[in-house]
């Protein structure tokens, strides 16, 4: 859960910055960054959202205490 949370949040930030760099053209199909940005949404939802991962991590931390 920790690895998935970190990786999906980081790739989300990177994709967002990529779109920012390209400006309005970042949403056009001509640039690969448009596809990356769209695919990141699926990564964040697949096998549990960020909030679900946080709940899993928190539950595990409380169990160890």
9 is known as an active-site residue? no
Query: What is the spatial distance between Cα 54 and Cα 42, in angstroms, rounded to a whole number?
Result: 18
Q: Is residue 53 a contact partner of residue 45, using CB atoms and an 8 Å limit? A: no
The catalytic residue among 9, 30, 34, 47 is: 47
List the catalytic residues. Answer: 47
């Amino acid at each position: 859960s920790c690895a998935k949370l970190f990786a999906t949040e980081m790739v989300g930030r990177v994709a967002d910055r990529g779109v920012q760099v390209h400006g309005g053209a970042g949403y056009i199909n001509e640039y690969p960054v448009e596809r990356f940005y769209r695919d990141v949404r699926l990564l964040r939802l697949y096998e549990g959202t960020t909030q679900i991962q946080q709940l899993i991590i928190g539950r595990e931390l409380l169990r160890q205490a």
